Structure 1
């Protein structure tokens, strides 16, 4: 345990988000996602749901404000207008923790292609279907850095 670090950020996931740079992407994947065959390094988050990992990451990692889109979810196959409950949860967490970003739906195979280019995939034990989200890392500004008071 560390002070000020979300308790769901294990050592591997903390390392992953710490080594990512501006514009790098990370996938939070549900239990059905083909994480091991996508290509990027997989960080296991067994026993944890996708919303918990999303909250843990966004507690420490900003989203990219230099582009139009910084968060994506997978569209429901056969009904592109459907918004699963878990995706409503994702949108609420993004708005609460990252600001006025829209979690943009993208077609299943386009989501897979984007996931293949990610820096990391976090494999969760999320059982809700379509419990997948991709985040683009933003810039950490100097005023957001930890500082020890000098008094």
Structure 2
């Protein structure tokens, strides 16, 4: 255990989050997402796992250590519901609430069509498969920066 770090963040995921740079993306996906076939195209190359945890719990854990690039419109993206692009399922409402709390913002999640989401996921740094069982529990987060005054100096 480490002080100040969510115990659910495993060493492999922490390593990936640390290695990501400004503008890199990480994709959180539900249990139905084709994580292995999509992850082979990512920088990391294989999926990371946070099984038995909901998308909102995983988002909260990741955002406890990773800043978002809130200078761009698409810093947090969800997969659109097929045939109902204006619909916002409960899983997306929960993750949006986590985002708003982490960022202190009222900005809504952007949404992209299902196959566009798959293509964007292939260009990500890593795929994180959650234990989310509900449909459309798929999100892309773009990493931001940490200001000089936020860096811990010994």
Do the two structures share a fold, i.e. TM-score over 0.5?
yes
Dislocated runs of 4+, deviation >3 Å? none
Residue 16 (structure 2) aligns with: 16
Matched, 1:26 2:32: no
SS at match of 2:128: strand
Residue 75 (structure 1) aligns with: 80
**Residue 130 of structure 1: which of 136, 146, 149 is its match?**
136
1:14 and 1:126 map into 2 onto residues whose CA distance is 20
Task: Provide TM-score, normalisation by structure 2.
Answer: 0.92
Gaps of 5+ in 2: none
CA contact (8 A) 2:49 2:129 kept: yes
Give RMSD over aligned pairs: 1.1
Alpha-carbon distance, 1:90 to partner:
1.0
2:2 and 2:30 map into 1 onto residues whose CA distance is 27
Alpha-carbon distance, 1:145 to partner:
1.6
Matched, 1:56 2:56: no
Alpha-carbon distance, 1:144 to partner:
1.4
Aligned residues: 148
SS at match of 1:123: strand
CA contact (8 A) 2:73 2:110 kept: no
1:65 and 1:72 map into 2 onto residues whose CA distance is 12
Residue pairs, 1:111-150, within 5 angstroms = 111-148=117-154
SS at match of 1:127: coil
Alpha-carbon distance, 1:103 to partner:
1.0
Can you list the C-alpha shifts for 1:126-150, whole angstroms capped at 9, x where unaligned?
10110111000001111112234xx
2:84 and 2:119 map into 1 onto residues whose CA distance is 20
